[in-house]
Amino acid sequence: MRMSSSDSTDPMEAFKKAITKGSEAQKDFIRQFSNIQQDAMQNYFAVLQSLTFHNAMFKTTVQSGGRISIPEAERQALNIEDGDLVQVIVVPIERRRKGSMQKET
């Protein structure tokens, strides 16, 4: 079957246009995905920087009554004095089990 010259739709041209549109859609998707990844990484690094730039991270043991102590080096580095208000973010690291506090003989 042969197409007449009056037909305005050439199957090869339609196929080429579809391929081009699909390729452009893929490029646009990858561009948008890359931007999302870049934004996420920038946010991640901003959070890390905010946690370590003006703050201190250290481990401490919970004492009786739920008290914790800020080590002297951190208090000095951050210029924290008695009576200063500080914000604490608690992330449990390890739980002591009953009996694990026993001294070895």
Per residue in 20-78, pLDDT (tens digit) is 999 999 999 999 999 999 999 988 888 877 766 666 778 888 899 999 999 998 899 88
- With a CB cutoff of 8 Å and minimum separation 6, the contacts of 80 are 70, 74, 86
Note the pLDDT of residue 47: 80
Could you give the C-alpha distances from 69 to 5, 39, 51, 78, 103, in angstroms and in order?
A: 88, 37, 19, 14, 23
The answer, yes or no, to whether residue 94 has pLDDT greater than 50, is: yes
Q: Which amino acid is at 20?
A: T
Note the pLDDT of residue 7: 52
> Where does the pLDDT of residue 6 fall: very low under 50, low under 70, confident under 90, or very high at 90 and above?
very low
Q: Which amino acid is at 98?
A: K
Please report where in the chains the tokens 């905010």 appear, as a residue. 50
User: pTM for this one?
Assistant: 0.40
Query: Which residue, 94, 88, 36, 40, is CA-closest to 67?
Result: 88
Note the pLDDT of residue 30: 94
Q: How far is CA 100 from the centre of its chain?
A: 35
Could you give the C-alpha distances from 40 to 32, 36, 67, 79, in angstroms and in order?
A: 12, 6, 36, 33
> Where does the pLDDT of residue 105 fall: very low under 50, low under 70, confident under 90, or very high at 90 and above?
very low
Note the pLDDT of residue 51: 67
